């Protein structure tokens, strides 16, 4: 699934015509909003699973000189990433975990490396909700709980400005959470500047 997603994003980027010489350069500063979607993989205590991540992000970029930006940003996302382990404590039991909403706030820095291509890096705070359901195989010892885990996220990516105020992007991000969990995400973005 990941290879198909990357191939689709690359085909879209390569099929997009370059800016005409008389067209205004892309807007790289100001308020932006973007849709995010891609592949999510997580690991907790040597158990791993994958799923689809989707969400929405907002930010404000301050243009520094002609080619660079410094910005602040926030994102709210969710994931289909879940998994179950069986026979943990006794025959017939199971423990299922699902990653819920993921909140992020941070900063980013970027530079235009071509007329319509920007490279950037980001870092910030992230908080994920983990939902656990335990079934002991009988009616007596079942329970469910949710826990929020704090963490740090770093990432890097590229944006292709397809119109003056619109862009497509691709990014890898890594999050490390308290209590031994981490996740990697390969995402694509569709964004607009205002």
pLDDT score of 24: 56
Query: What pLDDT score was predicted for residue 47?
Result: 67
Q: What angle do CA 50, 56, 61 make, to 5 degrees?
A: 120
pLDDT at 151: 95
Which segments in the chain show pLDDT lower than 50?
Answer: 2, 6-7, 9-10, 12-14, 16-22
- The domains of the chain are located at 2-193
Question: pLDDT at position 6, please?
Answer: 45
Angle CA(59)–CA(64)–CA(69) in degrees, nearest 5? 35
Q: Which CATH class is domain 2-193?
A: mainly beta
**Taking the CA of residue 86 as centre, how many other CA atoms within 13 Å lie in the half-sphere pointing to its CB?**
3
pLDDT at 10: 47
The pLDDT of residue 23 is 52
Place of tokens 């002609």: 66
Segments of the chain assigned E as strands:
30-44, 47-64, 68-79, 82-86, 94-114, 117-135, 143-163, 166-177, 181-193
């Amino acid at each position: 699934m990941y290879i198909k997603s990357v191939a689709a994003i690359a085909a879209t980027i390569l099929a997009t015509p370059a800016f005409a010489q008389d067209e205004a350069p892309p807007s790289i500063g100001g308020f932006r909003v973007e849709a995010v979607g891609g592949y999510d993989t997580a690991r907790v205590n040597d158990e791993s699973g994958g799923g689809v991540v989707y969400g929405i992000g907002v930010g404000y970029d301050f243009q520094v000189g002609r080619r660079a930006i410094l910005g602040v940003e926030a994102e709210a996302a969710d994931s289909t990433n879940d998994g179950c382990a069986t026979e943990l404590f006794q025959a017939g039991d199971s423990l299922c975990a699902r990653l819920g909403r993921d909140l992020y706030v941070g900063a980013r820095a970027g530079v235009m490396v071509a007329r319509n291509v920007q490279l950037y890096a980001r870092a910030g705070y992230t908080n994920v909700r983990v939902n656990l359901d335990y079934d002991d195989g009988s009616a007596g010892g079942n329970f469910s709980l949710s826990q929020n885990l704090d963490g740090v996220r770093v990432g890097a990516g590229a944006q292709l400005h397809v119109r003056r105020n619109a862009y497509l992007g691709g990014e890898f991000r890594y999050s490390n959470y308290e209590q031994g969990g981490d996740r990697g995400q390969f995402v694509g973005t569709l964004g607009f500047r205002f």
